[in-house]
Structure 1
């Protein structure tokens, strides 16, 4: 395997094209297996007025050599070489050095559809948008290449330009910050950046929340613009060191809302609902020996939210609200019984809700599951849909 020395100091290459329409930020760390497919998808774009900023976060594999080939061949490609300091620090450097009027994000193990930037920029310009949000595909390369449309948007959102706070459903979607385009001046004016937590895996959630909380004009388009890879063996895994990183991310979001002068009550309610979904998704993925400590920590947070008036139970489905009450009341007991819910099989789900809410809650769960028009589907770290 080719090996490149990791950068020991910061290097930023200068722009080689005048003021591009779009700066595409590509965070890169030891992803040589997928990087060419990612960068080739930029070369294939039908919209050509962009710069691609490859942010090399201390890669020790062959990623840097791959980047160099694109730098040598195309003046639209730039590089930021930096010692490894994590995703948030990489993205903030990209934001600082972006020359484009718009910002796009392309993860280095994903790849664009050829018309991705054309669709995003066209919608942004036509609607004077702060942000344009598109759909995407879940993508598997093994055993054979396969795409599955994610379906990130509701029918009522597609084709509309609106203020997200006027229809808060988008807050509870998966924080897919890479299937979007952002007006650079909007991000700067609102102070929207990433939390720089070394080694953390949740910085996209805070960025996503700040965008929806701040945008006045968000445009939603139905086209899928990106293939979101599902079979990257380097995806984040459970570890004791990362257990509470998600708590740090939500603390930064709370601080952001506290600094606002408007819509604080609504945003606090939204934030606590998002936090519950994220915490439960993370809790269910933890190794069993890590769950009780995490449950105790987050129960304390939710009780603080209740005491401070930040918790809005109207944003919770009956079963989610019942889970939250059980967690807040006795996190140790909650932890002991939660395994029943996450064990395979629908019967275990019903047993869980019977225990915490009786037949009435079970009936509500069944009724909502049968009513496809009203159910909100739960997605990876995206909350209830």
Structure 2
């Protein structure tokens, strides 16, 4: 099948009337006829749709799909099925791209015949910009399989489990049914490892392409809720399942990520107070999968034990893992 576009930029839209203009401009300032922009209006009640309509009139490569509100995952999935580009770039509508990066991202993905190109993100705060300590090209400089890439990223401490950090071949997504789980918050935490573990050709990029704006009233930063608690628990449990047949280093890193999410779940559960999600990670389970005391100790810090309990647990763990 002939590819009409090189890249499809998928932008879910909901209540972003103050941000969508900057988001769209960051794409269209560097987009030619080889790049399509697909906005998914997820039932937004504000003026975001009207702003997009003005761009549709002005640009032939911009379109908008209107749907009943179903959440970020459902909006992204709608975009994946509608896309005609060879590769897909995910862009949240309150963020923006760096200038003059799209053509180079496509060149890197195409020339290396990649399933996934790993990009680089910088975090934009009101008074400073936070950059990753290493670029993905420093971690994955050559084309390797996705399982090895995931292991390297996790072990280096610069793993970014967010959809916008990956430029993905659309046919690879569809062939492997790598859609986002609908009805789930923090869906990227599950999607990213599933994506990389299926990929055969993965490489890092030297470009910082994405600006992640840190605003207060986002899914990540807003108040605790039952749905967030259940989502954290679900993703943590799924990461543990994924780890079962993986090699030792990757298994321990997946467990560590699960423990981090478990800690988020437990913290939010303490805030709400009257809700109890029964998913739990015990130190005995962690001990069973740990091959070293250092890996066990790193993950233990994220489990809900008192300081005195941790002291006793560490003494026992040293006996078994020494």
The match for 2:276 is: 293
SS at match of 1:243: helix
Q: Does 1:69 align with 2:54?
A: yes
Matched-pair contact (CA < 8 Å) for 2:136–2:204? no
In structure 1, the gaps of 5 or more residues are 1-17, 339-350, 362-385
Counterparts of 1:315 and 1:48, CA distance in 2: 55
The match for 2:190 is: 206
Q: Does 1:28 align with 2:13?
A: yes
Query: 1:63-102: CA deviations, max 9, x gaps?
Result: 1111111111101111110111111111111111111111
Greater alpha carbon shift after TM alignment, 179-188 vs 285-294? 285-294
Counterparts of 1:177 and 1:221, CA distance in 2: 15
Counterparts in 2 of 1:133 and 1:53: CA distance versus 1, 3 Å: same
Q: Does 1:240 align with 2:218?
A: no
Counterparts in 2 of 1:315 and 1:234: CA distance versus 1, 3 Å: same
The match for 2:215 is: 231
For residue 299 of structure 1, report the CA deviation from its aligned partner.
2.7
Q: Does 1:192 align with 2:178?
A: yes
The match for 1:163 is: 145
SS at match of 1:32: coil
The match for 1:118 is: 103
For residue 47 of structure 1, report the CA deviation from its aligned partner.
5.6
Matched-pair contact (CA < 8 Å) for 1:133–1:221? yes
For residue 352 of structure 1, report the CA deviation from its aligned partner.
8.8
Q: Does 1:275 align with 2:258?
A: yes
Counterparts of 1:315 and 1:76, CA distance in 2: 55
Q: How many pairs were matched up?
A: 307
For residue 36 of structure 1, report the CA deviation from its aligned partner.
0.5
For residue 46 of structure 1, report the CA deviation from its aligned partner.
5.8
Query: 1:318-338: CA deviations, max 9, x gaps?
Result: 4224447xx4xxx6xx2xx37
The match for 1:3 is: none
Counterparts in 2 of 1:196 and 1:279: CA distance versus 1, 3 Å: same
Q: Does 1:96 align with 2:65?
A: no
For residue 153 of structure 1, report the CA deviation from its aligned partner.
4.1
Counterparts in 2 of 1:147 and 1:297: CA distance versus 1, 3 Å: same
Matched-pair contact (CA < 8 Å) for 2:38–2:62? yes
Counterparts in 2 of 1:179 and 1:203: CA distance versus 1, 3 Å: same
Q: Does 1:222 align with 2:238?
A: no
Counterparts of 2:132 and 2:105, CA distance in 1: 18
Q: CA RMSD in A?
A: 3.3
The match for 2:314 is: 357
The match for 1:109 is: 94
Counterparts of 1:131 and 1:240, CA distance in 2: 34
Q: Which of 178, 194, 218 pairs up with 2:164?
A: 178
The match for 2:245 is: 264
Greater alpha carbon shift after TM alignment, 120-129 vs 157-166? 157-166
